[in-house]
Structure 1
Amino acid sequence: MSLPNFEGLYQWTLKRARTTRALWVLALVSLFESSILPIPIEVVTIPLFMADRKRVWLVALVATLGSVLGGILGYAIGYHLYEGLGRWLLEFYGYQNEFNSLQEKFREAGWYVVMVGGITPIPYKVVSIASGFARLAFPVFMAASLVSRSLRFLAFALLFYFFGPSVRYLLGKHGALLGWVVLSLLIAGFLVVFWL
């Protein structure tokens, strides 16, 4: 049995990230990640940020627009389809407790919840569906989503614009080790979530 070749996977991903099609994939993934998919958007954005330093601002823009449009879809699911699709999605991904907790916070300061959810690793689909279900004013939701998602992706763009070559060097030199560390952390994270 051979072990995964993280170096080869890294090179393959970087090569694909330089294509024009990669931006379309990013737009689609960011749209559906904000409403229905369990894929973390960083799976797509980080290779794109690393592939070409000159495109980091375009990548941030595409990710922001796709994410905000996906947030509108999530908002609509919470507003119009919660009892059917919304509840099923949250239960399927195991986010029902987070959703219930967010509902209490929306009564106090919904715009703040959207801001925090848009910047932090909290699954944004939970925030968007909860916003619609809580009937948060749509203009407030949109403004908070635009600001928070822009800040999140611009922070990544700045990081990779200034430190991208160092990150690429580390991945090129120690890609296999870093791949195993990331894989171990993912497995540990899933185990923690499963047992809690």
Structure 2
Amino acid sequence: MVDAVVEFFRDFGFIGMFLHSFLDAIIFPIPAFFLQVSLSILDPQNAIWLATVGYLACLLGTPIGYLIGKLLGDSVLYKILKKKWIESASALFHRNGEAAILIGAFTPIPFKVFTILSGCFHFSFWKLLGYAAIGRAVKFYVVGFLFYFYGEASANFVKEELTYVMGGIAVLLLIGFYLKKRIQKKKIGILYQESKEESL
């Protein structure tokens, strides 16, 4: 199914990239990553432009995914995606709040899970868009620049190794947000203790 979908969109070039990325942020079950790689192999000189088109389309689709989540809840996700992806994303949200969107951009979990869940959990739309802008830029442009500079030679790395690199970034982000929370809690504890001592 993945190959058939990629082949269909590939025939439309940049327009196909735009449509696939736009739908990827909303409800489409197959990530635009596969099409980006396929088109970049065919035309590495335009890989950065492809990344830009995909990135902008993804951001344009983000508000719609958010709205779907807000209006319909997460039931729509269970109809189109694997349960484990939804549960993993939900766990990220509960542990890290809106930061899960940024972390999620570096995981294999399809991005529409995060746009829709953001709406379900009534997270700030502007934070969603901000985190999405950062996370998706990294994901699209890393692929774009690799193909632009190294051409087809980068295909194996992108297909087989990039997921692990992105996963490593996700782990580092998780650690970073965890440490940030610990520091914030410690500061709050110190301030509380100081105010308590002053009141005595």
Fold agreement, TM-score > 0.5: yes
For 2:149, the equivalent position in structure 1 comes to 162
For 1:78, the equivalent position in structure 2 comes to 69
Change (3 A) 1:61 1:94: closer
Compute the displacement of 1:108 (Å): 4.0
Q: For residues 48 and 16 of structure 2, what CA distance do their matches in structure 1 show? A: 16
Change (3 A) 1:23 1:107: same
Note the 1:128-167 alignment, pairs <5 A.
128-167=115-154
Compute the displacement of 1:127 (Å): 0.8
Change (3 A) 1:165 1:29: closer
Unpaired stretches in structure 2, ≥5 consecutive residues: 157-200
Question: How large is the Cα RMSD of the aligned pairs?
Answer: 2.6
Q: For residues 107 and 52 of structure 2, what CA distance do their matches in structure 1 show? A: 18
Q: For residues 153 and 89 of structure 2, what CA distance do their matches in structure 1 show? A: 38
Question: What is the identity, as a one-letter code, of the residue corresponding to 2:133?
Answer: L
1:76-115 Cα offsets, whole Å, 9 max, x none, are: 1111122xxx41x322234445434433442443232101
Q: Does structure 1 residue 44 correspond to structure 2 residue 60?
A: no
For 1:25, the equivalent position in structure 2 comes to 16
Question: What is the identity, as a one-letter code, of the residue corresponding to 2:67?
Answer: A
Q: Secondary structure at the match of 2:105?
A: helix
Q: Secondary structure at the match of 2:97?
A: helix
Q: Is the 8 A contact 2:25 2:112 kept in 1?
A: yes
Change (3 A) 1:91 1:41: same
Q: For residues 95 and 152 of structure 2, what CA distance do their matches in structure 1 show? A: 43
Question: What is the identity, as a one-letter code, of the residue corresponding to 1:147?
Answer: I
Q: For residues 66 and 119 of structure 1, what CA distance do their matches in structure 2 show? A: 18
Q: For residues 78 and 158 of structure 1, what CA distance do their matches in structure 2 show? A: 33
Unpaired stretches in structure 1, ≥5 consecutive residues: 1-5, 171-196
Scaled by the length of structure 2, the TM-score of the pair is 0.66
Q: Is the 8 A contact 1:30 1:63 kept in 2?
A: yes
Q: Secondary structure at the match of 1:122?
A: coil
Question: What is the identity, as a one-letter code, of the residue corresponding to 1:163?
Answer: Y
1:145-191 Cα offsets, whole Å, 9 max, x none, are: 011000001110121122214257x8xxxxxxxxxxxxxxxxxxxxx
Q: For residues 152 and 93 of structure 2, what CA distance do their matches in structure 1 show? A: 41
Compute the displacement of 1:125 (Å): 1.1
Q: Is the 8 A contact 1:60 1:157 kept in 2?
A: yes
Q: Secondary structure at the match of 2:90?
A: helix
Larger-gyration structure (1/2): 2
Q: Is the 8 A contact 2:68 2:116 kept in 1?
A: yes
Identical amino acids, percent of aligned pairs: 27
Scaled by the length of structure 1, the TM-score of the pair is 0.67
For 1:68, the equivalent position in structure 2 comes to 59
Question: What is the identity, as a one-letter code, of the residue corresponding to 1:58?
Answer: W
